[in-house]
Structure 1
Amino acid sequence: MADVARIAGVSGQTVSRVVNDSPRVDPATRTRVESAMAQLGYRPHRAARALRTGRTQTIGLVVSTLATVGNSRMLQAVADAAAARGYALTVVTLGAAPDVASAFERLSEQGVDGAVVLNEATAAARGIAAPRGLRLVVVDAPSGTPGVGVVQSDHAAGARAATAHLLSLGHGTVHHIAGPVGSFAAGERERGWREALGAAGRDAPPVLRGDWTAASGHSAGTALAADPAVTAVFAANDQTALGAIRAFADAGRSVPGAVSVVGFDDIADAADYRPPLTTVRQDFDRLGELAVTALVEAIEGGATAFHTVPTALTVRASTAAPRPAR
């Protein structure tokens, strides 16, 4: 650092501020210091910095599984946002037997400064105290947990929009293939579906429940396809919707000719389904950015935050008005 300071013509303290991304350096000076660092091949030593500051510039990610598209998208978003803030990322998956307390202990032993807890893992984390000094931000969980930041999509609003869209096309009611019990996101989507039906004066049909997979969507779709009165389905996510569409096709019921289907997430392939899928878009990049920003601010002494990210209905070719009765 002394060599960098000498070449850049600044003090060692100024070099330190540039290395630590302090806003208290004017752009011209920062450019001069960064040029000197590049000339000398200087790189900050993460372990040495951790000894000096008490922080490792590393955050953890706790997730139940990475097999679902939504969780994989969130992993990418969190990793990108962490890298942009100069933080490394350590990932812990819980598997079939969630043990969040052990996950927190493992992260604490690795010296992470804080952790983001994703989706289904947030239910397992309720009531479990994090190790002292480990800051937490949870994605998709109820607000109001003391000392924990929360970032969530507006799942209920998205589900209301999806259900209202199907009703506006003239369908008498909307059936729902829900996500797993205990999932905050699944519960909020089911709540929005019920609220939209109630606002329209319709009773909610019995819920069929899946596990976010296309296979569970196919199983539920097969049951729904056997009932000719079913003309509209709101699926808890796009993969579930894909399985349901195949089940209707297997039963000789076309989408959207005989049945309209709406998904949730707007994954990258949704526009290339056959037919292109009407779905509710989640902004995964924004969720990841807000989660990392809230966590870094908490690590650096800021207050815990609560953010809700809007969702948006994207109408494609999988929904249409019901066929007239013959």
Structure 2
Amino acid sequence: MLLSILLCGTLPCSAQAAFQDPLDSPSVIVDQLGKRSMQAVGMAGKRLVTVGARGVIAISDDDGRTWSQSISPVQSDLVAVHFTNERKGWSVGHDGVVLHTEDGGKTWQKQLDGRAAHKLFVQYYKAGAESGNAAYKAALRAVERNYKTGPTLPLLDVWFDDERNGFAVGAFGLIIGTTDGGRTWAPWLDRIDNPEMLHLNAVRGGDGGVYIAGERGAIFRLDRAQNRFVAVATGYTGSFFGLAVSKNILLAYGLKGAVYRSADHGQTWGAVDVPSPTTINGGTVLQASEGFVLVNIAGEMLIGDASGQRFSSRKGNKGWRYTGVATLPGERIAVTALEGIQVESLK
């Protein structure tokens, strides 16, 4: 048996399945959805929608007690999901995938992928670059470098202000925007103060602003007058992996339990002490209290007050490695993990 496996790795073998591009292959039906590796969870009204490895998408209408699988048009790993209401939502992931639903996550359509993005970006920047626009020249060089090995560049987060206006961000400075609900997307590489093409890991809004967090302590704030994301100094040099935004407070969180706070719409930032040094992968604002809950890879929930300055720690029921979180009514949260998805009570 071992010999045949080795031979199939180097020689034609009838038993070896032909390569299937994940961009052209719908997700496979799987069992035990609640125990599948999941990366993010969102709320479509009262419905839970979670996304994860190999394009798996699952929905629950009974607070996570039971799950049903929605067919995804791709097998690319999905890492983020966001809804603007009970019907319209978006999910992004590896291979530059953008998926969209208009029925609360039951069915999904592909709006963009890395292959289409490469062509779109080159076409978008080429004319300006040939006319001498320095910003377009730099963006075109970045596009050719990023897509040199194919359409593998991942999108890492997505956020919409309403049904029409939204952004998605990703590795090596990837950023796209839409003003028509994702029917068309435009690159924003020339409209962000990110000449080093740092990884952009998260995008969020909610207090009237829109913010992006990335590596090397990078935070970018949308200047609506300039229609441009401007860099903001944070004093941090590690990676931010996410943002949680309430009406008055912004939190950026990430590597080794780092949490930074802004109370002036992202203009200035300061470090917050939290009771765990473990990398934080997810965060959200609690519905009832306007407090915060952050979750980390050690299966801990860091529960903060509305000021975002005081946190306590609680271990989850199963000790799973958390990847994402969404808030539910009644002091509860839905938490995704490498081991599955579960609902936790914060009481």
The TM tier, using the shorter chain, reads under 0.3
Greater Rg, structure 1 or structure 2? 1
Larger RCO (alpha carbons 8 Å, 6+ apart) = 1
TM-score (norm 2): 0.24
TM-score (norm 1): 0.25
The structure richer in strand per residue is 2
The structure richer in helix per residue is 1
